[in-house]
A = this chain, B = another copy of it.
Amino acid sequence: MEYSEFRPLDDKALVDYIKVTPSLLSIVGNNFADLTVKEVGDGNLNFVYIVVGSSGSFVIKQALPYLRCIETWPMTKERAYFETLALKEHGRLCPEHVPQVYHFDRTMSLIGMRYLEPPHIILRKGLIAGIEYPLLAEHISDYMSKTLFYTSLLYHTTLEHKGLVAEFCGNVELCRLTEQVVLSDPYKVSQFNRWTSPYLDSDAKAIREDNTLKLEVAGLKSMFCERAQALIHGDLHTGSIMVTLESTQVIDPEFAFYGPMGFDVGAFIGNLILAFFAQNGHANEQNDRQIYKKWILRTIEETWNLFHTKFIGLWDKHKDGPGEAYLPEIYNKLELQQLVQRKYMSDLFHDTLGFGAAKMIRRIVGVAHVEDFESITDPSKRADCERRALEVAKKLLKERRKFQTISEVVLVILEHQA
Taken together as a complex, chains A and B put the C-alpha atoms of A175 and B165 apart, in Å, by 14
Q: Is A227 an interface residue (CB 8 A)?
A: yes
Question: Which residue in B153, B172, B184, B330 is a CB contact (below 8 Å) of A184?
Answer: B330
Pairwise interchain contact A153-B187, C-beta atoms closer than 8 A: no
- A163 CA to B170 CA, complexed, in Å: 7
Question: Which of B175, B211, B335, B339 interacts with A158 by CB under 8 Å?
Answer: B175
* A-side interface residues, number (CB < 8 Å): 44
Residue-by-residue, is A205-231 near B (CB-CB < 8 Å gives 1, otherwise 0)? 000000100110011011001111100
Q: Is A218 in contact with B331, judged by CB distance below 8 angstroms?
A: yes
Return the contact of A227 from the options B176, B184, B218, B227 (Cβ within 8 A): B227
A302-325: which residues lie under 8 A (CB-CB) from chain B? Answer: 324-325
A169 close to chain B: CB less than 8 A: yes
Question: For the complex, is A189 an interface residue (Cβ under 8 Å from B)?
Answer: yes
Given contacts A226-B228, A325-B222, contact A162 B169 (CB under 8 A): yes
In the complex, A329 has a CB within 8 A of chain B: yes
Q: Judging by beta carbons under 8 Å apart, are A153 and B188 in contact? A: no
Assembled-state Cα–Cα distance A153/B183 (Å): 14
Determine how many copies of this chain the complex contains: 2
Q: How close is A82's CB to chain B, nearest CB, in angstroms?
A: 13
Closest CB-CB distance, A362 to chain B, in whole Å? Answer: 14
- Whether B169 contacts A214 by the Cβ 8 Å rule is no
Shortest distance between the CB of A401 and any CB in chain B (Å)? 13
Given the interface contacts A225-B325, A226-B227, A229-B226, does A215 sit within 8 Å of B330 by beta carbon?
no
CB-defined interface of A57-85 with B at 8 Å, one 1/0 digit per residue?
00000000000000000000000000000
Q: Please list the residues of chain A having a beta carbon within 8 angstroms of any beta carbon in chain B.
A: 153, 158-159, 161-163, 165-167, 169-170, 172-173, 175-176, 179, 184, 187-189, 211, 214-215, 218-219, 221-222, 225-229, 324-327, 329-331, 335-336, 339-340, 343
